[in-house]
Amino acid sequence: MSRRGDELPVQYCRATRVVWRLGHGSVLVLPVSGDHVHALTGAAEGLWQLLVEPLTVQQAASRLAEFYDVSSGEVLREIAPLLDELVGRGVLERKGSA
């Protein structure tokens, strides 16, 4: 049984069972168990590149904000629902405690 102080923050990373290819301005991702290719463009493509290592939503937002020279809060509002959507589609995995 874990106590609140022992919980790890939720981190996101690329799903281990996907096939992907970097194209011109996009990433095409196909979950091995799926039949639909997901095209990630713009900031979503940048997010995919970042998630080669597990990151919290705050870490990802901070790095993208620095890259695009915008506020971290603005990026956070945009990527938080995207992360959850990509987890639901089997493209990303969630690690840690909610």
DSSP 34-58: -S-PEEEETHHHHHHHHTTS-B-HH
pTM over 0.75: yes
Q: Which band of pLDDT confidence, cut at 50, 70 and 90, is reported for residue 98?
A: low
How far is Cα 38 from Cα 58, in angstroms, rounded to an integer?
24
Q: Is CATH 1.10.10 the right assignment for the domain spanning 11-90?
A: yes
Average pLDDT, the chain: 90
Q: How far is CA 17 from the centre of its chain?
A: 15
